[in-house]
Amino acid sequence: MKSFQVDENGYYGEFGGAYVPEILYKTVEDLKNAYLPIIESESFQKEYRDLLRDYAGRPSSLYYANRLSEKYGCKIYLKREDLNHTGAHKINNALGQVLLAKRLGKKRIIAETGAGQHGVATATVCALMNLPCRVYMGATDVKRQHVNVERMKMLGAEVFPVESGNKTLKDATNEAIRDWCCHPSDTFYIIGSTVGPHPYPDMVARLQSVISEEIKWQLKEKEGRENPDYLIACVGGGSNAAGTIYHYIDDADVKIVLAEAGGKGVDSGYTAATIQKGTLGILHGSRTLTMQTEDGQIVEPYSISAGLDYPGIGPIHANIAKQHRATVLAINDDEALRAAFELTRLEGIIPAMESAHALGALPKVKFKPTDVVVLTVSGRGDKDLDTYLSHKDDKGIND
Ligand SMILES: *Cc1c(COP(=O)(O)O)cnc(C)c1O
């Protein structure tokens, strides 16, 4: 049977690989040779699992959303990554990578961040492990995500505003890679999603795979079967989606729905729907779909959600979309906003703006009453309150 997991060369079909400058070649090669033996070792697993349980608060609950289910005529379970320490799934990955960095003898941590959620998760694990941490963040995002900047600083991280390009996530990533090139031997680069050169996409997917590992036994307890009919998740770079589908990816009976950010509409010129609008290119060390002009200039993506406006997509997702293993839906800003207010009023859960895109997929799928749907709520919405408040009137909610 064909597998959708990474092959021995670091590719998912035609996507992936490791396109790095000469100076990083040895560092990336060393990581490639070290990550699996370390991650699979008993001592790593013990330390990682203990931290996931006692520090991050796992397992995250699998919650049967009664009123939401009634509304969409199927059985909807929410995988509650919003309940994790620091408020999203990103802590699963940051904890794993910092443990790996320690075992590789690295003395310094760098990271990139867009909305600041990965920066906060990285700053958190660096405080925990007493490691110096520098977070690269576009100057525009520093202004937009003030609270997360203050959180990172309080945690002891240095936040480095990036003034190049559009001063957003892509530019922050370029700058982090530049730093890595200058300090390849003592610095570990904690990438926040299933992007970057191999082995990062596979490494991040494995560290997030705790999500689908838990869904399997939790669903078995509640429904008497491990496999749902549908898995739904939002995709920025693709890490919460990769974690949600990891243990199901080769089970053809489980349908996968990925929600990418449509922005103001896929053909509006203001979108982050990379799978639908992207073309083959190389971005941040990986061969994948990217939003680019015909001569290869990166087109700045747009989404109401800062966590989804990345101009690339993880090679895992580029491949499953191309192979028709997943259905990809673009959810526009207004559809995501509506879905966020709906979940809040039906279930008392304020989702992250990113997660609201996954919820926005619900009205677009024709479910049967017996269908079991697991939808990952990747994070909580506290950070998005200003966005929600400024749009509540268009949703007809005035009180
Ligand atoms: C960062 C983030 C995302 C997008 O990143 P993925 O790697 O695609 O998961 C989605 N939801 C939340 C809450 C985030 O913080």
For residues 357 and 303, what is the distance between their CA atoms, to the nearest angstrom?
Answer: 11
Q: At what angle do helices 90-103 and 200-208 cross, to 10 degrees?
A: 120
For residues 106 and 102, what is the distance between their CA atoms, to the nearest angstrom?
Answer: 6
* Backbone φ and ψ of 394, nearest 5°: -70, -15
Going from the C-alpha of 287 to that of each of 13, 165, 281, the distances in angstroms are: 11, 21, 6
pLDDT at residue number 395? 65
End-to-end Cα, the chain, rounded Å = 55
For residues 387 and 267, what is the distance between their CA atoms, to the nearest angstrom?
Answer: 23
For residues 51 and 174, what is the distance between their CA atoms, to the nearest angstrom?
Answer: 31
For residues 158 and 307, what is the distance between their CA atoms, to the nearest angstrom?
Answer: 21
Which residues are registered as beta bridge partners of 161? 137
Bond preceding residue 161 cis, omega within 30 of 0: no
Say if ligand 1 is within 6 A of residue 148 CB. Answer: no
Say if ligand 1 is within 6 A of residue 88 CB. Answer: yes
**The token pair that represents 340 in the structure block:** 């966020």
The residue among 4, 2, 1, 3 whose CA lies nearest residue 321 is 4
Q: List the residue whose alpha carbon is closest to atom 10 of ligand 1.
A: 354
Ligand 1 centre to CA of 354 (Å) is: 6
pLDDT at residue number 398? 53
Q: CB-side exposure of 57: number of CA atoms within 13 Å?
A: 14
* Beta strand segments in 223-341, E: 230-234, 255-263, 279-283, 286-290, 326-332
pLDDT at residue number 366? 97
Say if ligand 1 is within 6 A of residue 236 CB. Answer: yes
**Other C-beta atoms lying within 10 Å of the C-beta of residue 279:** 12
pTM over 0.85: yes
Ligand 1 centre to CA of 378 (Å) is: 6
Check residue 173 and report its DSSP letter: H
Instruction: Tell me the pLDDT tens digit for each residue of 27-68.
Output: 999 999 999 999 999 999 999 999 999 999 999 999 999 999
pLDDT at residue number 399? 52
The residue among 186, 189, 167 whose CA lies nearest residue 178 is 189
pLDDT at residue number 397? 59
pLDDT at residue number 1? 52
pLDDT at residue number 222? 98
Identify whether 90 is a catalytic site residue.
Answer: yes
pLDDT at residue number 396? 57
Mutate to test the pocket of ligand 1, among 89, 256, 310, 377 (most ligand atoms within 8 A of CB): 89
> Which amino acid type is present at position 246?
Y
pLDDT at residue number 306? 84
pLDDT at residue number 21? 94
Pairing of strands 75-80, 108-113: unpaired
The ranges of the chain with pLDDT < 50 are none
Say if ligand 1 is within 6 A of residue 90 CB. Answer: yes
226 touches 254 (CB < 8 A): no
DSSP-derived 3-state class of residue 305:
coil
Judged on CB neighbours under 10 Å (0-12, 13-18, 19+), 222 is middle
